[in-house]
Amino acid sequence: MSSPVALRQEALRRAMQADGLDAILLNPGPSLPYLTDLHFHISERPVVFGLSLSGTPTITVPGLEAQKLEHAAFALQTVTYTEDVSKWGDAFREGLSQLRLSDGARVGIEPRSLRVLELRFIEQALPGVELVSCEEAIASLRSRKDQSEIDQMKEAVRMAQAALDATLPHVKVGVSEREISGRLIANLLAEGSGGELPFQPIIAFGANSANPHAVPTDYLAQEGDLILFDWGANNNGYFSDLTRTFALGEPTDRCRAIFHAVADANKAGREIAGPGVQAGAIDEAARSTIVSRGFGEFFTHRTGHGLGLEVHEEPYIRDGNTQILEEGMTFTVEPGIYLPGEGGVRIEDDVVITADGAISLSDYDRALRILPA
């Protein structure tokens, strides 16, 4: 039986052929382990993997990384280089020549991931090729998760939810956003999350919660504050991304109103999701709910984004996106309302499209919870 990465490479070759690509080139980033099960960090030493429509893939790596290639699950042509920077260009010319590309060949790259460092070596080694984006071809594979990937993400959700449970008892009047952020991160690691979190948790109290991408500060929680957590865990490279909002003591009537509007919008977005539905329809369902309550101008971002090996990937749940959702696609549903100077509410779940609908991988209580001050 072929290995998962071999099957993914064959699927990518079919997508490449459909897009008129002769080869793809990748540097370290989420797509490389997805297609090879090889893990490299971005560093001052460049790495380039190449896959053509036929033939054996190639990779050019620093010599100190060569041991990682010994147990590759597929045939691989390897070129290594030493610390002598003057010889690196020769190594990349040798490695990329193995793809046997003719002048005018169309070679796919990921513009959002490819660094100038690797790009310059590629241009020197393959001066006659045309470099074009292959992000659509790769996204067509990565956006449709198999069951093993969904299971990984479900565990990342469990880690995140358990870490929040362990953190909430420490939220009291007089505690700072920074202190709670530190506790949450420690609890994520204790639950088994990888140290490279999807993102720095957003912990925002009171008026700070009206900033969708707030950064934890030294602000001290006060009675009546809204308490917003946006956080996630890393399970073997697969991410969760959740948001819940609480009240520290009794909130104002206006804060209660926006909470219930957001909760209903979250529910509307999740309920309309399913195979064959346009991504933009989820945004419309959530947004129209908030607009109907009179808070439309305070919902200032898209309703969600794809999730997996990256915290933001395809499909994007935004107005006007006609992409059709398919079984295995995973994404967030995260409507929010942000009242400047008062506070904000966001409720975010991780959703996966099934054969006949959609399910939420996250099940943390979405009702308004009032924390003791």
Contact present, 248 and 224 (Cβ < 8 Å):
yes
Residues of the chain with pLDDT under 70: 1
Contact present, 275 and 325 (Cβ < 8 Å):
yes
How far CA 173 is from CA of 92, 97, 219, 292, in Å, comes to: 58, 64, 11, 34
Hey, what amino acid is at 167?
Answer: T
SS3 144: strand
Q: What is the pTM of this model?
A: 0.94
The predicted-structure confidence for 52-66, as pLDDT tens digits, reads as follows: 999 999 999 999 999
CA 48 to chain centre: 22
Average pLDDT, the chain: 97
Contact present, 49 and 74 (Cβ < 8 Å):
no
Q: Is the peptide bond before 4 cis (omega within 30 degrees of 0)?
A: no
The predicted-structure confidence for 70-95, as pLDDT tens digits, reads as follows: 989 999 999 999 999 999 999 999 99
What pLDDT is attached to residue 1? 52
Q: Which two tokens stand for residue 13?
A: 């070759």
What pLDDT is attached to residue 292? 98
What pLDDT is attached to residue 3? 83
SS3 54: coil
What pLDDT is attached to residue 252? 96
The predicted-structure confidence for 315-363, as pLDDT tens digits, reads as follows: 999 999 999 999 999 999 999 999 999 999 999 999 999 999 999 999 9
What pLDDT is attached to residue 289? 98
SS3 362: coil
What pLDDT is attached to residue 104? 96
Domains (ranges, CATH) in the chain? 4-142 (3.40.350.10), 147-371 (3.90.230.10)
Q: How many CB atoms lie within 10 A of CB 64?
A: 11
What pLDDT is attached to residue 2? 73
* Segments of 280-319 assigned E as strands: 304-306, 313-317
